[in-house]
């Protein structure tokens, strides 16, 4: 009797601060979400960002980060592998990122949650519960645009894992 491989579809969750207002970014997110549907179940959770006063003090910025952290933490699933996007995180090539996702899905969990903070960054409360911190660059990007970068790289990772052609 032949063994059947049961392929459990990977759940990709993206918890992010801020709403996408620009149509061109919404269109890009829709396109990558559609492309990813072949490989994973994608769930994007957009959380409200806190208003940042002009000339905010360090204390005010910490309060904002903590409020956003409370909201983020409410949306994390216990069994999901948590990856926070942070400038101090490890950087990967696209091939290494693909292997990372594959390794997590095979050895840790069939659910990966990526966290994208708001313009003040992520609270240590979020960073401390993360399994891993990754960084796409030492440069700073708008968090709305970064969401598109993340979806594109996740899509690229699946293409690499499946030995499918994708532009370089």
Of the CA atoms within 13 Å of residue 60, those in its CB half-sphere come to 8
DSSP string for 128-158: HH-SEEE-S-SS---HHHHHHHHHHHHHHHH
pLDDT band of 92, cuts 50, 70, 90: very high
**Residue 150: pLDDT above 70?**
yes
Phi, psi at residue 67, to the nearest 5°? Answer: -65, -45
**Residue 2: pLDDT above 50?**
no
| 113-128 pLDDT per residue, tens | 999 998 889 999 999 9
**Residue 87: pLDDT above 70?**
yes
**Residue 166: pLDDT above 80?**
no
**Is the CB of residue 45 less than 8 Å from the CB of residue 15?**
yes
pLDDT band of 6, cuts 50, 70, 90: very low
**Is the CB of residue 142 less than 8 Å from the CB of residue 44?**
no
Worst-scoring range by mean pLDDT, 24-28, 47-51, 96-100? 47-51
**Residue 168: pLDDT above 70?**
no
Q: Which two tokens stand for residue 113?
A: 């949650």
pLDDT at 144: 84
pTM, full prediction = 0.91
Residue with tokens 């909201």: 71
What is the C-alpha separation between 9 and 19, in angstroms, rounded?
Answer: 27
The Cβ of residue 85 has, within 10 Å, a number of other Cβ atoms equal to: 24
**Residue 49: pLDDT above 70?**
yes
* 145 or 151: which leads in pLDDT: 151
Q: At 21, which helix (H) or strand (E)?
A: none
Query: What proportion of the chain, given as a percentage, has pLDDT over 90?
Result: 73
Question: Length of the chain, please?
Answer: 168
Return the closest-CA partner of residue 121 out of 51, 68, 73, 71. Answer: 68
């Amino acid at each position: 009797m032949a063994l059947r491989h049961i392929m459990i579809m990977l759940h990709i969750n993206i918890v992010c601060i801020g709403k996408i207002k620009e149509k061109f970014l919404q269109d890009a997110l829709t396109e990558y979400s559609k492309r990813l549907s072949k490989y994973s179940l994608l769930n994007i959770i957009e959380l409200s960002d806190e208003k940042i006063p002009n000339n905010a003090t360090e204390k005010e910025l910490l309060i904002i980060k903590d409020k956003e952290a409370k909201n983020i933490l409410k949306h994390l699933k216990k069994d999901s592998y948590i990856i926070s996007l942070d400038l101090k995180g490890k950087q990967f090539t696209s091939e290494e990122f693909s292997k990372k996702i594959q390794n997590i899905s095979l050895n840790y969990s069939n659910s990966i949650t990526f966290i994208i903070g708001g313009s003040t960054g992520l609270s240590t409360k979020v960073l401390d519960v993360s399994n891993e911190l990754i960084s796409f660059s030492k440069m700073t990007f708008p968090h709305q645009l970064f969401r598109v970068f993340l979806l594109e790289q996740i899509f690229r990772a699946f293409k690499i894992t499946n030995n499918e052609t994708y532009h370089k």
